[in-house]
Structure 1
Amino acid sequence: MASEQDEVDRIVGAWSAERPDLDFSPMEVLSRVDRLSHHLDRARRDAFRRTDIEPWEWDVLSALRRAGAPYRLSPKQLLQQTLVSSGTMTNRIDRLRERGLVDRSADPDDRRGALVTLTAEGRTRVDAAITRLIDAESDLLGGMTSSDQKRLGSLLRHLLVSFDGNG
Protein backbone atom coordinates (compact mmCIF):
# COMPACT_ATOMS: atom_id res chain seq x y z
CA MET A 1 0.00 0.00 0.00
CA ALA A 2 1.79 3.07 -1.29
CA SER A 3 -0.34 5.39 0.86
CA GLU A 4 0.97 3.88 4.12
CA GLN A 5 3.65 5.97 5.78
CA ASP A 6 5.88 5.14 8.71
CA GLU A 7 8.50 7.01 10.71
CA VAL A 8 11.22 5.97 8.26
CA ASP A 9 9.31 7.66 5.43
CA ARG A 10 9.21 10.86 7.47
CA ILE A 11 12.92 10.66 8.33
CA VAL A 12 13.95 9.89 4.74
CA GLY A 13 11.67 12.66 3.47
CA ALA A 14 13.27 15.19 5.78
CA TRP A 15 16.79 14.08 4.83
CA SER A 16 15.91 14.11 1.14
CA ALA A 17 14.73 17.71 1.43
CA GLU A 18 17.98 18.67 3.17
CA ARG A 19 20.33 16.51 1.09
CA PRO A 20 18.75 15.90 -2.33
CA ASP A 21 22.20 14.91 -3.60
CA LEU A 22 22.10 11.59 -1.68
CA ASP A 23 20.28 8.33 -2.44
CA PHE A 24 18.46 7.34 0.75
CA SER A 25 17.21 3.96 -0.51
CA PRO A 26 19.62 2.02 1.77
CA MET A 27 18.20 3.90 4.76
CA GLU A 28 14.67 3.04 3.68
CA VAL A 29 15.54 -0.66 3.98
CA LEU A 30 18.00 -0.84 6.84
CA SER A 31 16.31 1.67 9.14
CA ARG A 32 13.20 -0.47 8.90
CA VAL A 33 15.22 -3.60 9.62
CA ASP A 34 16.71 -1.84 12.65
CA ARG A 35 13.30 -0.78 13.94
CA LEU A 36 11.92 -4.28 13.39
CA SER A 37 14.91 -5.65 15.28
CA HIS A 38 13.87 -3.64 18.33
CA HIS A 39 10.32 -5.03 18.16
CA LEU A 40 11.66 -8.57 17.73
CA ASP A 41 14.08 -8.15 20.62
CA ARG A 42 11.24 -7.06 22.93
CA ALA A 43 9.02 -9.93 21.80
CA ARG A 44 11.82 -12.46 22.32
CA ARG A 45 12.74 -11.14 25.73
CA ASP A 46 9.10 -11.34 26.79
CA ALA A 47 8.73 -14.91 25.48
CA PHE A 48 11.90 -15.96 27.32
CA ARG A 49 10.99 -14.09 30.51
CA ARG A 50 7.67 -15.90 30.64
CA THR A 51 9.61 -19.17 30.43
CA ASP A 52 12.15 -18.04 33.04
CA ILE A 53 15.15 -18.14 30.74
CA GLU A 54 17.52 -15.43 29.57
CA PRO A 55 18.31 -14.81 25.88
CA TRP A 56 21.83 -16.22 26.33
CA GLU A 57 20.33 -19.33 27.94
CA TRP A 58 18.01 -19.68 24.96
CA ASP A 59 21.01 -19.74 22.62
CA VAL A 60 22.56 -22.73 24.39
CA LEU A 61 19.35 -24.60 25.21
CA SER A 62 17.93 -24.24 21.71
CA ALA A 63 21.19 -25.45 20.14
CA LEU A 64 20.98 -28.58 22.29
CA ARG A 65 17.28 -29.10 21.52
CA ARG A 66 17.82 -28.68 17.78
CA ALA A 67 20.56 -31.33 17.91
CA GLY A 68 17.85 -33.96 18.40
CA ALA A 69 17.84 -36.86 20.84
CA PRO A 70 19.82 -37.33 23.01
CA TYR A 71 20.08 -33.47 22.94
CA ARG A 72 23.84 -33.50 23.46
CA LEU A 73 26.67 -31.44 21.99
CA SER A 74 30.30 -30.80 22.83
CA PRO A 75 31.25 -27.36 24.12
CA LYS A 76 33.08 -26.83 20.81
CA GLN A 77 29.88 -27.54 18.86
CA LEU A 78 28.01 -25.12 21.13
CA LEU A 79 30.68 -22.49 20.47
CA GLN A 80 30.21 -22.86 16.73
CA GLN A 81 26.46 -22.38 17.03
CA THR A 82 26.43 -19.51 19.50
CA LEU A 83 29.48 -17.53 18.38
CA VAL A 84 30.81 -16.75 21.85
CA SER A 85 34.28 -17.21 23.31
CA SER A 86 35.40 -20.42 24.99
CA GLY A 87 35.49 -18.76 28.41
CA THR A 88 32.00 -17.36 27.95
CA MET A 89 30.68 -20.77 26.92
CA THR A 90 32.27 -22.44 29.96
CA ASN A 91 30.60 -19.85 32.19
CA ARG A 92 27.25 -20.35 30.47
CA ILE A 93 27.40 -24.13 30.79
CA ASP A 94 28.28 -23.84 34.48
CA ARG A 95 25.40 -21.46 35.13
CA LEU A 96 22.94 -23.68 33.22
CA ARG A 97 24.15 -26.69 35.24
CA GLU A 98 23.52 -24.78 38.47
CA ARG A 99 19.94 -24.16 37.30
CA GLY A 100 19.46 -27.84 36.42
CA LEU A 101 18.91 -27.13 32.72
CA VAL A 102 21.94 -29.04 31.40
CA ASP A 103 24.31 -31.77 32.52
CA ARG A 104 27.99 -31.97 31.68
CA SER A 105 29.77 -35.31 31.38
CA ALA A 106 32.98 -36.77 30.05
CA ASP A 107 32.98 -37.65 26.35
CA PRO A 108 33.40 -41.44 26.15
CA ASP A 109 35.05 -41.05 22.72
CA ASP A 110 37.52 -38.32 23.77
CA ARG A 111 39.28 -38.49 27.15
CA ARG A 112 39.88 -34.75 27.18
CA GLY A 113 36.44 -33.82 25.87
CA ALA A 114 33.11 -33.16 27.50
CA LEU A 115 29.50 -33.38 26.44
CA VAL A 116 26.67 -31.07 27.43
CA THR A 117 23.21 -32.64 27.59
CA LEU A 118 19.84 -30.96 27.91
CA THR A 119 18.01 -32.09 31.05
CA ALA A 120 14.29 -32.83 31.17
CA GLU A 121 13.76 -29.44 32.84
CA GLY A 122 15.87 -27.74 30.17
CA ARG A 123 13.82 -29.41 27.45
CA THR A 124 10.56 -28.33 29.10
CA ARG A 125 11.79 -24.72 29.27
CA VAL A 126 13.13 -24.57 25.72
CA ASP A 127 9.99 -26.20 24.30
CA ALA A 128 7.79 -23.68 26.10
CA ALA A 129 10.04 -20.84 24.94
CA ILE A 130 9.94 -21.86 21.28
CA THR A 131 6.15 -22.08 21.40
CA ARG A 132 5.91 -18.59 22.91
CA LEU A 133 8.53 -17.27 20.49
CA ILE A 134 6.72 -18.58 17.42
CA ASP A 135 3.46 -17.08 18.70
CA ALA A 136 5.16 -13.71 19.27
CA GLU A 137 6.89 -13.74 15.89
CA SER A 138 3.64 -14.71 14.17
CA ASP A 139 1.99 -11.72 15.84
CA LEU A 140 4.78 -9.44 14.60
CA LEU A 141 4.19 -10.64 11.04
CA GLY A 142 0.41 -10.62 11.35
CA GLY A 143 0.06 -7.71 8.93
CA MET A 144 1.67 -9.67 6.10
CA THR A 145 0.26 -12.42 3.92
CA SER A 146 1.96 -15.80 3.92
CA SER A 147 3.18 -15.13 0.39
CA ASP A 148 4.69 -11.77 1.42
CA GLN A 149 6.37 -13.41 4.41
CA LYS A 150 7.97 -16.03 2.14
CA ARG A 151 9.11 -13.39 -0.34
CA LEU A 152 10.57 -11.21 2.42
CA GLY A 153 12.28 -14.24 3.97
CA SER A 154 13.86 -15.06 0.62
CA LEU A 155 15.08 -11.48 0.13
CA LEU A 156 16.53 -11.33 3.64
CA ARG A 157 18.24 -14.71 3.13
CA HIS A 158 19.85 -13.35 -0.03
CA LEU A 159 21.14 -10.34 1.91
CA LEU A 160 22.42 -12.40 4.83
CA VAL A 161 24.24 -14.88 2.59
CA SER A 162 26.24 -11.97 1.22
CA PHE A 163 27.41 -11.22 4.78
CA ASP A 164 27.72 -14.74 6.18
CA GLY A 165 29.21 -16.39 3.11
CA ASN A 166 26.89 -19.40 3.50
CA GLY A 167 26.04 -19.60 -0.17
Structure 2
Amino acid sequence: MTKGELAPYLSSVYRFLNENGDHQAIRGAYDVLDRLLQSAQPRRVWSGSKSAWERTNNWLVHLRESHVEPKDMMATLVAMFLYQELTPESFRSDKHFRHQMVVRLLRLAPTRRDPFTHRRKDRITVGVRDFLSERLCHSKLGALALRVAKHIARDENQKKEFLRCDIDGYHVPFNYN
Protein backbone atom coordinates (compact mmCIF):
# COMPACT_ATOMS: atom_id res chain seq x y z
CA MET A 1 0.00 0.00 0.00
CA THR A 2 1.28 3.45 -0.89
CA LYS A 3 0.79 6.93 0.55
CA GLY A 4 -1.19 7.82 -2.57
CA GLU A 5 -3.66 4.99 -2.02
CA LEU A 6 -4.20 6.12 1.57
CA ALA A 7 -4.51 9.86 0.76
CA PRO A 8 -8.28 10.01 0.08
CA TYR A 9 -8.99 8.16 3.32
CA LEU A 10 -6.66 10.45 5.24
CA SER A 11 -8.53 13.53 4.00
CA SER A 12 -11.82 12.11 5.33
CA VAL A 13 -10.16 11.23 8.63
CA TYR A 14 -8.55 14.65 9.07
CA ARG A 15 -11.91 16.28 8.39
CA PHE A 16 -13.48 14.10 11.10
CA LEU A 17 -10.64 14.74 13.58
CA ASN A 18 -10.84 18.50 13.00
CA GLU A 19 -14.61 18.49 13.57
CA ASN A 20 -14.34 16.29 16.68
CA GLY A 21 -10.97 17.37 18.03
CA ASP A 22 -12.44 18.41 21.37
CA HIS A 23 -14.03 15.00 21.98
CA GLN A 24 -12.70 13.41 25.17
CA ALA A 25 -11.70 10.14 23.48
CA ILE A 26 -9.85 11.87 20.64
CA ARG A 27 -7.93 14.07 23.07
CA GLY A 28 -7.19 10.98 25.17
CA ALA A 29 -5.82 9.15 22.13
CA TYR A 30 -3.53 12.09 21.33
CA ASP A 31 -2.30 12.03 24.94
CA VAL A 32 -1.57 8.29 24.81
CA LEU A 33 0.37 8.65 21.56
CA ASP A 34 2.26 11.67 22.89
CA ARG A 35 3.24 9.80 26.06
CA LEU A 36 4.36 6.85 23.93
CA LEU A 37 6.60 9.10 21.85
CA GLN A 38 7.98 11.02 24.85
CA SER A 39 8.78 7.88 26.85
CA ALA A 40 10.85 6.26 24.07
CA GLN A 41 14.60 6.16 24.76
CA PRO A 42 17.21 5.40 22.08
CA ARG A 43 18.90 2.01 22.34
CA ARG A 44 21.89 0.62 20.52
CA VAL A 45 20.76 -2.20 18.27
CA TRP A 46 23.23 -4.60 16.69
CA SER A 47 22.04 -6.64 13.78
CA GLY A 48 19.83 -9.46 15.02
CA SER A 49 20.72 -8.97 18.67
CA LYS A 50 17.91 -6.83 20.08
CA SER A 51 14.32 -7.62 20.84
CA ALA A 52 11.37 -6.34 18.84
CA TRP A 53 10.55 -3.97 21.71
CA GLU A 54 13.99 -2.34 21.56
CA ARG A 55 13.76 -1.90 17.80
CA THR A 56 10.21 -0.52 18.11
CA ASN A 57 11.45 1.86 20.77
CA ASN A 58 14.07 3.19 18.32
CA TRP A 59 11.36 3.75 15.74
CA LEU A 60 9.37 5.75 18.28
CA VAL A 61 12.46 7.85 18.98
CA HIS A 62 12.82 8.44 15.22
CA LEU A 63 9.17 9.53 15.00
CA ARG A 64 9.63 11.94 17.92
CA GLU A 65 12.87 13.38 16.53
CA SER A 66 11.14 13.85 13.16
CA HIS A 67 8.45 15.91 14.91
CA VAL A 68 5.62 13.58 13.92
CA GLU A 69 2.48 14.73 15.71
CA PRO A 70 0.13 12.40 17.62
CA LYS A 71 -2.71 13.72 15.45
CA ASP A 72 -0.92 12.49 12.32
CA MET A 73 -0.32 9.11 13.93
CA MET A 74 -3.98 8.81 14.95
CA ALA A 75 -5.13 9.91 11.49
CA THR A 76 -2.96 7.24 9.89
CA LEU A 77 -4.32 4.52 12.17
CA VAL A 78 -7.93 5.53 11.51
CA ALA A 79 -7.29 5.88 7.77
CA MET A 80 -5.89 2.35 7.63
CA PHE A 81 -8.95 0.96 9.41
CA LEU A 82 -11.17 3.01 7.08
CA TYR A 83 -9.32 1.67 4.05
CA GLN A 84 -9.85 -1.88 5.31
CA GLU A 85 -13.50 -1.16 6.09
CA LEU A 86 -14.30 0.23 2.62
CA THR A 87 -12.03 -2.03 0.54
CA PRO A 88 -11.39 -5.25 2.50
CA GLU A 89 -10.22 -7.05 -0.64
CA SER A 90 -7.08 -4.87 -0.62
CA PHE A 91 -5.47 -7.01 2.08
CA ARG A 92 -4.56 -10.67 1.75
CA SER A 93 -5.09 -11.34 5.45
CA ASP A 94 -5.48 -9.66 8.82
CA LYS A 95 -1.74 -10.01 9.35
CA HIS A 96 -1.07 -8.28 6.04
CA PHE A 97 -3.38 -5.43 7.08
CA ARG A 98 -1.70 -5.07 10.48
CA HIS A 99 1.77 -5.06 8.95
CA GLN A 100 0.77 -2.43 6.38
CA MET A 101 -0.73 -0.33 9.17
CA VAL A 102 2.56 -0.34 11.08
CA VAL A 103 4.56 0.44 7.93
CA ARG A 104 2.33 3.44 7.12
CA LEU A 105 2.60 4.62 10.73
CA LEU A 106 6.38 4.35 10.94
CA ARG A 107 6.88 5.83 7.47
CA LEU A 108 5.44 9.12 8.76
CA ALA A 109 9.06 9.83 9.69
CA PRO A 110 11.42 10.57 6.81
CA THR A 111 13.54 7.77 5.38
CA ARG A 112 16.99 7.37 6.90
CA ARG A 113 19.72 6.58 4.40
CA ASP A 114 23.34 5.56 4.71
CA PRO A 115 25.40 8.65 3.78
CA PHE A 116 27.85 6.64 1.66
CA THR A 117 25.71 4.04 -0.11
CA HIS A 118 22.41 5.99 0.01
CA ARG A 119 20.63 2.76 0.86
CA ARG A 120 17.85 2.70 3.41
CA LYS A 121 18.96 2.28 6.99
CA ASP A 122 15.47 2.01 8.37
CA ARG A 123 14.22 -1.45 7.55
CA ILE A 124 11.03 -2.27 9.43
CA THR A 125 11.55 -5.83 10.59
CA VAL A 126 8.82 -8.43 10.84
CA GLY A 127 9.36 -8.48 14.60
CA VAL A 128 8.66 -4.75 14.85
CA ARG A 129 5.57 -5.06 12.65
CA ASP A 130 4.26 -7.97 14.73
CA PHE A 131 5.07 -6.35 18.06
CA LEU A 132 3.61 -2.92 17.29
CA SER A 133 0.57 -4.17 15.38
CA GLU A 134 -0.33 -6.53 18.21
CA ARG A 135 -0.17 -3.68 20.73
CA LEU A 136 -2.09 -1.26 18.53
CA CYS A 137 -4.86 -3.60 17.40
CA HIS A 138 -5.49 -5.04 20.86
CA SER A 139 -5.60 -1.76 22.75
CA LYS A 140 -8.22 0.87 23.40
CA LEU A 141 -6.37 3.04 20.90
CA GLY A 142 -6.94 0.46 18.16
CA ALA A 143 -10.56 0.00 19.22
CA LEU A 144 -11.13 3.77 19.07
CA ALA A 145 -9.48 3.99 15.64
CA LEU A 146 -11.75 1.20 14.37
CA ARG A 147 -14.83 2.86 15.89
CA VAL A 148 -14.01 6.19 14.23
CA ALA A 149 -13.31 4.43 10.92
CA LYS A 150 -16.69 2.65 11.04
CA HIS A 151 -18.40 5.99 11.75
CA ILE A 152 -16.69 7.65 8.77
CA ALA A 153 -17.42 4.61 6.56
CA ARG A 154 -21.11 4.82 7.42
CA ASP A 155 -21.14 8.48 6.37
CA GLU A 156 -19.22 7.69 3.16
CA ASN A 157 -21.69 4.92 2.29
CA GLN A 158 -24.62 7.28 2.92
CA LYS A 159 -23.09 9.79 0.49
CA LYS A 160 -22.75 7.07 -2.16
CA GLU A 161 -26.34 5.96 -1.68
CA PHE A 162 -27.75 9.49 -1.93
CA LEU A 163 -30.02 9.67 -4.99
CA ARG A 164 -29.19 6.12 -6.00
CA CYS A 165 -32.56 4.72 -6.89
CA ASP A 166 -34.30 2.28 -9.18
CA ILE A 167 -36.74 3.59 -11.77
CA ASP A 168 -39.14 1.11 -13.29
CA GLY A 169 -38.77 0.96 -17.05
CA TYR A 170 -35.36 2.60 -17.07
CA HIS A 171 -33.97 0.06 -19.52
CA VAL A 172 -37.08 -0.13 -21.76
CA PRO A 173 -36.42 1.61 -25.10
CA PHE A 174 -38.49 4.63 -26.06
CA ASN A 175 -40.77 4.62 -29.12
CA TYR A 176 -39.80 7.10 -31.82
CA ASN A 177 -42.93 8.11 -33.73
When you count strand as a share of all residues, which structure comes out higher? 1
The one of the two structures with greater contact order (alpha-carbon pairs below 8 A, sep at least 6) is 2
Do both proteins adopt the same fold according to a TM-score greater than 0.5, normalized to the shorter chain? no
TM-score (norm 1): 0.30
TM-score (norm 2): 0.29
